[in-house]
Amino acid sequence: VFDGVFLPGTKSPIEDLAWLRARGLDSWLSHQMNHGSQIVGVCGGFQMMGRAIHDPDGVESNFGSMDGLGFLPVTTRLARSKTTRTVTARTPSGLSFEAYEIHMGVTSIEEDGCEPFALLEDGTRDGMRRGRAIGTYLHGAFESQGVIEELLGHPVPDFHGGTKFQYHRLADWFAAPVEHDVFLRE
């Protein structure tokens, strides 16, 4: 059983932080981590886990800057340009996986000695692992059973073919009641 919290991020990491704080969920997340839960942030979730997010150009919000949750020693500066790319990466143990990035801004690491979430094929470090806090920009990393097992430190049930298999199952379910002859008529 994975005793943790997953922060996916949504529209704007600064607006998401404001939403969390307005509901007291920032304190709840801190409590969860301090009592043994692992916190994983992907993309905007990774940015929120840092010390601060700066948006001087108002790219994603009108807040300007906001303190982050402080779980990771990073600071993000949002920018007008968006990073979008597919990558091949490997975990610190050497496990290879495919993923993609789609984010605004640059996240800077403020302390030496922190382990990356992964290394990209060009040698670039992605994200960070520090204690029970994990952040990454790599969407799709958690579709890899091996990546999940490495993070948890134990085997997980078989994925039954992964995401593509599940999409095919969904397509088969959707297509089953369809009268195909209707689509063949002229």
Q: What is the pLDDT of residues 128-162, one digit of tens each?
A: 999 999 999 999 998 888 898 898 888 887 766 55
Q: Using 50, 70 and 90 to split pLDDT, how confident is the model at 4?
A: very low
Six-digit token string for 79: 């920018």
The owner of tokens 């060009």 is: 122
Q: Which residue has the higher pLDDT, 17 or 3?
A: 17
Q: What is the pLDDT of residues 67-126, one digit of tens each?
A: 999 999 999 999 888 889 999 999 999 999 999 998 888 999 998 888 999 999 999 999
> Between the ranges 3-7, 49-53, 181-185, where is the mean pLDDT highest?
49-53
Instruction: Say if residues 50 and 39 touch (Cβ distance below 8 Å).
Output: no
3-state secondary structure of 78: strand
Q: Which residues contact 184 (CB under 8 A, 6 or more apart)?
A: none
Q: Say what the pLDDT of residue 20 is.
A: 87
Catalytic residue list: 43, 139
pLDDT at 179 over 80: no
Q: Say what the pLDDT of residue 153 is.
A: 86
Compute the distance between CA of residue 68 and CA of residue 46 in angstroms, rounded to an integer. 10
The half-sphere exposure of 50 on its side-chain side, counting CA atoms within 13 A, is: 29
